[in-house]
Amino acid sequence: MSDQDRLAQFGARVFIDQRGLFEWRPISMTARAKLNFYDRVLRPDPSRTVVRPFEPNYPRDFDGGTSRTQETVDLIVALDEAELARQLKGVTLSLDENHRDVDAMLLRRFNDIAGRIEGADRITVEQQRLIGAYCSEEFAYEAAALFNPSAVLHPDQSGLPVGTIRFVMSLRGIGEGHVSSVTFRTGTWTPGGALLVDDPSPTSVSPLIDTCGRGEGIAARLCCAGSRTISETVLFPVLPSQTQGIEDTRLVRFCEDDGSISYHGTYTAFGGGQVRSELLSTADFRSFEMRVLTGQASSGKGMALFPRRIAGKYAMLGRQDSKNIWLHFSDELLNWAGGEKLITPKFPWEFVQMGNCGSPIEIDEGWLVMTHGVGTVRNYCIGACLLDKNDPSKLLARTPRPVLAPSPHERDGYVPNVVYSCGVIVHDRTMLLPYGVADSFTAFATASIDNLLSVME
């Protein structure tokens, strides 16, 4: 079967652009959607590394008498001055190229574990630095993949030409052990014109982590004041619930009833055996709070917060049954129980399951929701629907055909047959759609809101 024939099952003719991505032109004249693609592609870069905590341990069922960390410390303390100096020089040469303030970073790491070290008060500064190095690891957090982006308006919109906006984008990076972290990019976009994604800094900075938590539901506070640009910030797993990753952050610029602005990001915390939804919150992308979501709905993936309250309540899309899109309301930001089915699979490209591709976007006609559908051979496609602005439990229209589907020329990757997004931007009646391809890299497209609405039924 040819690529054209294979894709005809979706009811569409496909026109390939120069990058191998394509525009859907459905056979039915009632469902004619048009996407425009940018050449800009973000690919994983194994040279981008962050230094994160590490401690040697014995296997779970083995009793070694003392901790391996203490045993390692004892070996370090026994080194003579010449060998200690040689080891420290090697550490500095290794880390200085990609990291700044290496000595201070290693001393902070020593202070993190000093309470568990015997005789810590007798250890010299040089020994502390080397102990900090032995209890750290350099992690290439996007070596395998960089995908599933989510974009929101940047807090600073000053100094831009008329019609241009500045945005912040979160991405899911995958490194060693299939561990997912959150990384960020910034850029500017002019609807109908240029898209500029700023080159990331060569330096990545580990946040200062406080996992004690204070306040309702706070599991961790992350201070990223050491980052000179947003692209230097990396949020890697810090809680037991996240040991295998922080996945698919859906950012939303949230406006409270009093006009105050904050940024929230729902994400999937994967602990290796169980998943749960958690919430990342920030006012400035320089410090973050990680909070645990509770209630039945929080046990699933793919929750997406509406950008404002509706009739005094928080509203959320969810997918706790791994099949349908659900709608939830709550008086509390962190507690999500009950809910009702909102959108169920109807068309062949979404028969297996549906979900959202990010938080709803408020437009004049209602709430625009980008959706994903899973069909044959576990193909992930992107569609859209429209909800009533005053009562989002009312589904007004939806796309009968995918807006975007895996390209025959770029279908291969870490997970083949997937296009997926975690959040779009709408400005001047145009949508910027950043999306992941094959769970491997990130590409960008735009669409007219008017055209998108016209293909809905």
Dump the DSSP string for 68-109.
HHHHHHHHHHTS-HHHHHHHHHHHHHHHTTT-SSHHHHHHHH
Q: Which of 431, 353, 420 is nearest to 386 (CA)?
A: 431
Can you read off the two tokens belonging to residue 124? 């010299």
Averaged over 174-181, what is the pLDDT? 95
| Alpha carbon distance 267, 423 (integer Å) | 12
Radius of gyration of the chain (CA): 24
CA quadruple 293, 297, 303, 306: dihedral sign: negative
pLDDT at 20: 40
pLDDT at 216: 58
Q: Is the pLDDT of residue 10 over 50?
A: no
pLDDT at 215: 57
Do residues 176 and 448 make contact, with C-beta atoms less than 8 angstroms apart? no
pLDDT digits (tens, 9 = 90+) for 178-212: 999 999 999 999 999 999 999 999 999 999 998 76
Confidence band of 17 (pLDDT split at 50, 70, 90): very low
Structural domains in the chain plus CATH codes: 49-139 (no CATH), 141-454 (2.115.10.20)
Q: Is the pLDDT of residue 310 over 90?
A: yes
Average pLDDT, the chain: 90
**Global pTM?**
0.90
pLDDT at 114: 96
Confidence band of 8 (pLDDT split at 50, 70, 90): very low
Do residues 357 and 317 make contact, with C-beta atoms less than 8 angstroms apart? no
Question: Torsions phi, psi of 408, nearest 5?
Answer: -60, -25
pLDDT digits (tens, 9 = 90+) for 97-155: 889 999 999 999 999 999 999 999 999 999 999 999 999 999 999 999 999 999 999 99
392 versus 62: the higher-pLDDT residue is 392
Residue 34 Cα distances to 15, 22, 25, 403, angstroms? 11, 10, 7, 8
Share of the chain above pLDDT 70, in %: 91
| Alpha carbon distance 283, 155 (integer Å) | 8
356 versus 27: the higher-pLDDT residue is 356
The strand pairing partners of 167, in sequence order, are 153, 187
62 versus 389: the higher-pLDDT residue is 389
Q: What is the largest CA-CA distance in the chain?
A: 80
Q: Is the pLDDT of residue 29 over 90?
A: no
Q: Is the pLDDT of residue 405 over 90?
A: yes
pLDDT at 410: 67
Averaged over 290-300, what is the pLDDT? 92
pLDDT at 32: 52
pLDDT at 274: 86
pLDDT at 273: 81
Averaged over 316-324, what is the pLDDT? 94
pLDDT digits (tens, 9 = 90+) for 53-106: 999 988 888 887 889 999 999 999 999 999 999 999 999 999 988 899 999 999
Q: Is the pLDDT of residue 2 over 60?
A: no
pLDDT at 213: 57
Q: Determine the Cα angle at 54 with ends 202 and 245, to 5°.
A: 70
Kindly give the pairing relationship between strand 234-235 and strand 179-189: antiparallel
Q: How many CB atoms lie within 10 A of CB 108?
A: 15
